[in-house]
Every structure is written in structure tokens, then in C-alpha cells.
Amino acid sequence: MRLRFLLRPGWLALTVVVFTFAVCCYTLLAPWQFRRDAEQEAQNSALTASFTAKPKPVAQLLPENAAPGQRTEWHLVSITGTYLPSAEVVARLRTVQGEGAYEVLTPLRATDGTVYLIDRGYVRLNDKSGVLPYAAAPGGQVTVVARVRSDEKDPKHREAFSDASTNGKLQSYTVDSQVVAQSSGLTIRSGYFQLDQQQPGVLGALPLPQLESGPFFSYALQWLAFGTMALLGWLYFTIRELRPGGALATERPERGRRKSVAEMLAEDEDEYTPSAS
């Protein structure tokens, strides 16, 4: 029966590999790229809207201490309060415009008592990869306009620490309000707030992401194409094997078999050898 070749170990292994790859393309790789494309479009929309929208009070955009999300990321909010420089932390291993930097994170206590983590921007490294001196946060009550950002997450859950590179200041591996809360003993609401230029306490204002679509949509289409090509290739070779003379056939017709060199030489010798009379 021609379909018996489908049960051979080699063909079964090939079938498993092809279908596993196709399923991964359709259910994991392509959707992952589609999600990244959707996130990029949401970020672009939020940034574009923030260029013309007026800042909202933080309690209006994020009521009841709601955590920042895709709907509120990058929007501008205004916060009035007092900086708490004694709880300041610098985030290490940052890159700004292709050069190493630290980001300075200073809590700010709002007039209603809520504490927000303010990202005051970046400072460059010195010749020993330590943090360069920078201006202290202004004292007294200030009103800042900042962009809503979601906390970064450290998969290793490392705490803030200090060493000589930051002149005794605490440093962290991520910009995470809860890391600063743990190191300072303060109750800080989720998320952080990135200062724009010309705001009280800003250092080097962090550049905004570029408004570009990115390659994610085309990557998703490529994964769908790869999965389809794998299935079509498997189908092509399956149909070919079902026909007589397939590569996996065990019995081939003698008429279609090519003669070996030894057989052809033997036939030539028989032809030109004179027969005995």
C-alpha cells in the first residue's frame, strides 16, 4: 500500500519537525511580532497625542493609584509637591544616544501625601565609569510636568546598593518605583514619571522614542510565510512519494533502472568478442 511510507521512522520524524515548526510560526512567532507591532503603534499614538494635549493632573489620568498601562503610557501629567533627595537612587547601565549614562530617580511627595518617583533625566559617566557630579533637586514646593511610564522589571529582583562608583549614592539596575520604595522605606505609587525639558529638577532630559512603525509587521508576515512554505514543501514531497518511482519506494521497475558502468562494459565486451565456430 502506497501510504505505508508515511509510517516509516524517517518520514515520521520529518513530519513532526515540519508541523512543529509550522505550529510555532502560526501560534508563537507571528503573533509575537503582531503584538510588538501593536505595542509600537500604541506608543506612537500616545506620543503623538502628548505633543498637542495639555498635561492633566496625575489624579485625573491615574485615579485611585492606578498603575500606568498602555492607555496612559507617555501621557503628560502635572504633579505638585516636594522632592525627597535623601531617598534618591541612580539607575546604572543606561545608554542615552549611544553613550553610557546614569538616570537619577528622586521621589517627590505630592501635596496630598502620595509619593511619586520622578526620573530627573540622565548624567554622563566619568573616566572611571562612575557618575559625574550633578545638580541637586530644588527645595521647596514645585510643580512638574512629566510623562507617565511603567516600571521596568528586573528578572533577578535585585535590590538597590551602593559602591564607590556613585560616591555612596544608592544605585539600581532598573527604573522601578518599588526598588526605590524598598531602599527608602517610603510608600511609592506604581510607575515612574519622566521629566521633560525645562522642568524643575530636570538634568539631561531623556530623548523620546522615534515615531516609526518598525519591522515587526513584516517579520510577522515572514513567519507566516515560512510556516506555509514548510507545509507546502511537506505536501509536495508527500505527493511525489505517492507516485510510482518515488524516492522512498522499495521496489522499482527494472525498465527505469540505470545500468552501472560495470554492466555497460560487460555488454560491450560480449558484443565485440567473436563467437566460437
Assigned C-alpha cell, 74: 507617555
Residue 167 lies in a domain: yes
> Would residue 48 be called left, alpha or beta, if left means φ above 0 and alpha means ψ between -120 and 50 degrees?
alpha
In the DSSP assignment, the letter for residue 243 is S
- What's the pLDDT at 255? 53
Residues 158 and 220 reside in one and the same domain: no
CA 157, chain centre distance (Å): 19
| CA–CA gap between residue 224 and residue 234 (Å, rounded) | 16
Residues 110 and 162 reside in one and the same domain: yes
Residue 262 lies in a domain: no
Cβ atoms of 123 and 61 closer than 8 Å? no
Dump pLDDT digits (tens) for 86-124: 999 999 989 998 899 999 999 999 999 999 999 999 999
The length of the chain is: 277
- What's the pLDDT at 261? 54
230: pLDDT strictly greater than 70? yes
More confident residue, 255 or 99: 99
Residues 151 and 174 reside in one and the same domain: yes
End-to-end CA distance of the chain: 52
Residue 265 lies in a domain: no
Cβ atoms of 90 and 165 closer than 8 Å? no
Q: What is the pTM of this model?
A: 0.67
Residue 152 lies in a domain: yes
276: pLDDT strictly greater than 60? no
* Percent of the chain's residues with pLDDT above 90: 51
Residue 120 lies in a domain: yes
Cβ atoms of 89 and 171 closer than 8 Å? yes
Residues 138 and 222 reside in one and the same domain: no
Dump pLDDT digits (tens) for 44-84: 777 777 777 788 899 888 888 788 887 888 889 999 999 99
Residues 31 and 111 reside in one and the same domain: no
- What's the pLDDT at 248? 52
Dump pLDDT digits (tens) for 147-170: 999 999 999 999 999 887 777 789
- What's the pLDDT at 3? 66
Look up the domain containing 133 and give its range: 75-195
Mean pLDDT of 5-22: 85
Cβ atoms of 107 and 116 closer than 8 Å? yes
Assigned C-alpha cell, 137: 533637586
